[in-house]
Amino acid sequence: MSTWLFGGLLGGGADVGCVSDAQADRTMQEIRQQWPLRPSLDPVAVAVQDLGRRLTRTVDPQRQRRWEFAVVRNLEPSAFALGGGRFVVSDGLVAFVRSESELAAVLAHEIAHQQLDHFCRQAPRSAERIDLGGVTQHFDLKTELEADAKAVDLLTAAGFDPQAMAAVLRCLTQAPGGSSPQLAKRLNALRAIPAASTSRSQTDSPAFRRARESVQEDLGEWNGGETVCR
């Protein structure tokens, strides 16, 4: 499993500048051309959209901007922030997480990139650059640490378990090839945030449970996070 797939910024090849709605739409169109997406009314897509709305309501209660959450039919656990309020997660991620709060944590992390204006910063030379067809991933530890901390705030405000942010990172370290110095630094940074260690009991919604079961059935023998997480 490639740990860079959780977190980071996707853009249409640009290394600098805020992402406009038009740029985000073009990037989303490129993704649609390269990977199949679940229809917007698909139960899995609806469950992800509902989670996204619950989180974004904490930062945009008047719904003044457009927010879009799409699900890619792909086995690899992944999450992308495209800028312009557009986000993409994969089937593999829905199967990989062990709870609704963990999926919310990944979404909160990506939303945090948007809220912290990470798309308006020039990618540093030290950032890892990964090209995925027509789109480009930039992975920079500093922005990941900032997004992790902001995600804890978003989870708390939306009523999810704030410990889920660290839990999903620990899960990544247990995946084959998942252990890395970057993940260790992110976990250490979360330990220094009191709210990230505050447990809040959560029961997964029926919609999330149905969505996860549906994805696991589609993926067959590969059963996501339960194979690697303890």
Task: Evaluate whether 59 touches 154 at the Cβ level (below 8 Å).
Answer: yes
Predicted TM-score of the model (pTM):
0.85
Q: Whose structure tokens read 């708390």?
A: 156
Q: What is the CA radius of gyration of the chain?
A: 16
- Mean predicted confidence (pLDDT) in 162-190: 86
Write the pLDDT tens digit of every residue in 4-59.
344 444 333 333 347 777 888 888 888 888 889 999 999 999 999 999 999 999 99
Average pLDDT score, the chain: 81
In what helix (H) or strand (E) does residue 59 lie, and over which residues does it extend?
Answer: none
- On whether the CB atoms of residues 146 and 189 are closer than 8 A, the answer is no
pLDDT digits (tens, 9 = 90+) for 114-152: 888 877 766 666 555 655 555 556 678 888 899 999 999
pLDDT at 59: 92
Evaluate the CA torsion angle 42, 8, 29, 34 in order and state its sign. Answer: negative
pLDDT for 43 equals 94
